[in-house]
Structures are given as structure tokens and as C-alpha cells.
Chain A
Amino acid sequence: EDKVVQSPLSLVVHEGDTVTLNCSYEVTNFRSLLWYKQEKKAPTFLFMLTSSGIEKKSGRLSSILDKKELFSILNITATQTGDSAIYLCAVGGTGANNLFFGTGTRLTVIP
């Protein structure tokens, strides 16, 4: 059965801290792994990863995929209160837009 597991479930840090969010998966016909940020309602896209070992970066956020060990990490450096959100990991198979989502990691950044 396809599944995506995220850890930790929740995390509380102080501004300026660095956090690492984890995502492990078991999905048939893997095509891509995506990270989304959900602050209120609509998840917004962060990264899509398809190849192992290639880091994607956007500002203070970065992510990498390990297709051999079936996991990905999302790093956030110098956290800010605006980073407070639920971070969702999703994995997609080939030929369709049905993504399998993890239940998310709730990050709270305290001033």
C-alpha cells in the first residue's frame, strides 16, 4: 500500500533556529516528490524533486531526495515567524496527478 510518512508531527522553534523536516515514502511507480506549505487553506508549492542527490534551494529553504533510501528532507535555516505553517510532503506516480500526501509537520516559530 502506498504511504508517505512525515516526521516530526509538530515542532516548535525560536526565530533564527534551523529545522529539518523528514519525509519517507513507499509509492509504486515513483515519479516525483513535492513539498507544499499550508498556512491557512490552500497549500502552496515549494519544491518538486525527481532525481536523487540534487539539492533544490529557494532562499532559506532547501530540499533533497534520496531515491535509494526513499526519503526526502526539507531544511529551513534562520527561521522566521512567517515560516509557521504545516509543511506537506507528497509523492506522485507516473501518468496521473493523484498525489499521496503525508499528514504534514506543523511548524511553529516563536519570536
Chain B
Amino acid sequence: DQQVKQNSPSLSVQEGRISILNCDYTNSMFDYFLWYKKYPAEGPTFLISISSIKDKNEDGRFTVFLNKSAKHLSLHIVPSQPGDSAVYFCAAFSQGAQKLVFGQGTRLTINP
């Protein structure tokens, strides 16, 4: 089941630069998308979300972009900080179901 895919298992970015994490989906029934951040030995922490009726949502240093025609979303973090080092999961949701469908995650490392 590859309905949500994060093709980059890892990403390394210099502190202060922009981090861009990507996510693709195949199910056109998805109408809400979320990004979660996860530290080792902790549960996923909700970061930011976007509805399919929007193409951008911003919250401080975090911006999520949605391209519905390409079935692609991305998370931009700017400027990147060392505390942003974590695994980032993209998740998708459809109103007809109640479950989140997760991608495989991307491990982001911010280098000082």
C-alpha cells in the first residue's frame, strides 16, 4: 500500500538554510494533509496541515504547499534550526474514512 510516499529517506541541511521535504500521494479521495514530526522514543507531534481547497498554509517557520494536479505536497522550514532535526511524516486523510495514511518518513538533519 503506497498511497502516500516520501521518496527521500533522509535530508541534510545547513542551519539557517531552507529545508524542503516532499510527499506524493496517489489516492484522489484524500482531502486533508498533515505533517508530523517525530523524535526517537516519542510519538508523532502534529506540525501543520492543509485542506485540499487551499494550496498553501503557513505557520511561523513552517509552510506547506499543495499541488493537487500533481498530487504532491511539500513542507518548507525556513530558517532551519538544530532542533528541527527529527523524522518528518506526511499523512493524508479523507472525510469518508477516519484514518490517517502515513508516508515512510524523511529523517531531517540540521547541521550547525
Chains A and B belong together in one complex: no
